Amino acid sequence: MARLSSPDSSQDDICEVFTDTICSVCHRRLLVSEIAYGQGEGIMPKTGEFINIVCCSDCYQGEGSPVQLWKGDGIACTPKRMDHELQLEAAAAKACAAEAKAQTLAEEKAEAASRAIAAEEKAKALEETGKVLDKERDEANSRAFAEQEKSEVLRAENAALLEELQRFRQMAAPSAGLGSAP
Ligand SMILES: [Zn+2]
């Protein structure tokens, strides 16, 4: 019963502005619709709570069971007021559950967002790795090409040297081949 909590409870804003209504005869808390007539403002001696003092319609009409006066341990409510408090309590519990659900949804949303960011970062890293591998492959290809060119040059040089050697052999052939048969 949020409205019945002590008036110095800072967690309940309603208490700070809400002035409760209590019957001066039966000392029950009641609804505005149950007031027979008002008597004025007052203060609860134990809690210092400001209250509206009234006479309830039950006491005014002398109806119902004999009322029990407040002995100082809590304050009773009329049945209508009790219904009202229970409805308030149920509504508060419902709102609390809705808030908890909204909180859970917000947390799930944040988690999904961070998962998406992580996936995006991973994809970016993979893309970077792919670029590095492409670059390495291109470099290896161009190195292989350079090696091939170099070996072709060497082959050409080799062929030229062989040709020159052949020429030297031919030049040397007449004197060297004097004794040999044609
Ligand atoms: Zn009363």
Query: Which tens digits make up the pLDDT trace of 7-19?
Result: 444 445 544 568 8
Please state, as a whole number, how many other Cβ atoms lie within 10 Å of the Cβ of residue 66: 5
Is 121 inside any structural domain? no
Among the listed ranges 6-10, 47-51, 81-85, 126-130, which one has the minimum average pLDDT value?
6-10
| Gap from CA of 160 to ligand 1 centroid (Å) | 129
| Among 71, 36, 74, 38, CA closest to 53 | 38
Among the listed ranges 33-42, 56-65, 136-145, which one has the minimum average pLDDT value?
56-65
Is 102 inside any structural domain? no
Alpha-carbon dihedral angle through residues 102, 106, 108, 114, given to the nearest 10 degrees:
180
Q: Where in the sequence is the domain holding 3, given as residue range(s)? A: 1-77
Mean pLDDT of 95-110: 97
Is 63 inside any structural domain? yes
Residue 21's region, left for phi above 0, alpha for psi from -120 to 50, else beta, is beta
Is 33 inside any structural domain? yes
Q: How many CA atoms lie within 13 A of 26 on its CB side?
A: 24
The structure tokens listed for 104 are 């859970």
| Gap from CA of 24 to ligand 1 centroid (Å) | 7
Residues whose CB falls within 8 Å of the CB of residue 106, separated by 6 or more in sequence, listed in order: none
| CB contact at 8 A, 25 and 59 | yes
Is 177 inside any structural domain? no
| Gap from CA of 88 to ligand 1 centroid (Å) | 22
| Gap from CA of 17 to ligand 1 centroid (Å) | 24
| Among 92, 71, 83, CA closest to 31 | 83
Q: Give me the amino acid identity at 169.
A: R
Confidence of residue 73 (pLDDT cuts 50, 70, 90): low
Is 154 inside any structural domain? no
- The structural domain count of the chain equals 1
Render pLDDT for 10-50 as a digit per residue (tens, 0 to 9): 445 544 568 899 998 888 899 999 999 999 999 988 888 89
Is 20 inside any structural domain? yes
In the chain, % of residues over pLDDT 70: 79
Confidence of residue 178 (pLDDT cuts 50, 70, 90): low
| CB contact at 8 A, 77 and 28 | yes
| Gap from CA of 169 to ligand 1 centroid (Å) | 142
| CB contact at 8 A, 26 and 56 | yes
Alpha helices in the chain (DSSP H): 13-17, 57-61, 79-176
Distance CA 13, CA 7 (A): 9
| Among 41, 37, 29, CA closest to 57 | 37
Ion ligand 1: protein residues whose beta carbon lies under 5 Å: 23, 25-26, 56, 59
The structure tokens listed for 116 are 């998406």
The structure tokens listed for 111 are 């988690």
Residue whose structure tokens are 């341990």: 73
Is 44 inside any structural domain? yes
